[in-house]
Structure 1
Amino acid sequence: MSDFLDIMRQHARLIVLRALAAEPNYSHNDGMLLDIAKSFSVDRGRDFLRNEIRWLENVGAVTVRELGGAWIVTATQRGVDHAERRIVLEGVRRPSAGG
């Protein structure tokens, strides 16, 4: 089970980074990111996603600010670089070559 959960976490982290990288301001709130993750069949709840966002923050891939109970998550250059295949962040699924 831990292998599956690890794969799920890596996939969720990539979903977050790719969603943020696709936005002009590199930002989304955690509710939108949760909906995006669900659309990719990563439906483990807000606590799961927030844990993965915090993990990304700890490795310098995103910043988080809280606003009225919501989290505003913004990709850093490091996070965008991973999403666009310029660097590899260990612990984050690698984006496919086709986009």
Structure 2
Amino acid sequence: MNYAAFAKADARLIILKELSRQTDGRMNETMLTSVLDTFGHRRSRDWVRTQLRALEELGTVNLVEAGTVLIASISRAGLDHVERRTVIEGIAKPSPEH
């Protein structure tokens, strides 16, 4: 796996983990961009949107447009990946929690 693919897979996992931590399982793209910055993924809004669309295609999030902002909500498949019940290609595998 090249660095670009690794970065995308890692960022997608970070997004899913953060969504799973939310009480309602939802966050907007602006907040998710800030979370990714915290983990060293300093990327453009378009790049984050591309990752959200990829996660939607993988069935791990549902996206809704609110004006010009995307709101992502985690799906059952996304939660199953974060909780290590399934493995989805294109998203980094979560580490075991101890």
After TM superposition, the score normalised by the length of structure 1 is: 0.94
- Code of the residue aligned with 1:4 in structure 2: it is Y
Q: Deviations over 1:19-62 (max 9, x none)?
A: 00111111000000000000000112111111011000001100
Q: Which residue of 2 aligns with 1:18?
A: 17
- Code of the residue aligned with 1:90 in structure 2: it is E
SS at 2:62 equivalent = strand
Percent identity, aligned pairs only, is 34
Conserved 8 A contact 2:33-2:43: no
Distance, in Å, in 1 between the alignment partners of 2:50 and 2:84 is: 23
Distance, in Å, in 2 between the alignment partners of 1:8 and 1:58 is: 18
Distance, in Å, in 1 between the alignment partners of 2:62 and 2:97 is: 27
Q: Which residue of 2 aligns with 1:68?
A: 67
Q: Which residue of 2 aligns with 1:85?
A: 84
Runs of at least 5 residues in structure 2 that lack an aligned partner in the other structure: none
Q: Which residue of 2 aligns with 1:38?
A: 37
Q: Which residue of 1 aligns with 2:56?
A: 57
Runs of at least 5 residues in structure 1 that lack an aligned partner in the other structure: none
SS at 1:42 equivalent = coil
Distance, in Å, in 1 between the alignment partners of 2:46 and 2:27 is: 16
Distance, in Å, in 2 between the alignment partners of 1:72 and 1:31 is: 9
Distance, in Å, in 2 between the alignment partners of 1:55 and 1:62 is: 9
- Code of the residue aligned with 1:7 in structure 2: it is F
Q: Deviations over 1:52-98 (max 9, x none)?
A: 11000001100101002111100000001111111101110011112
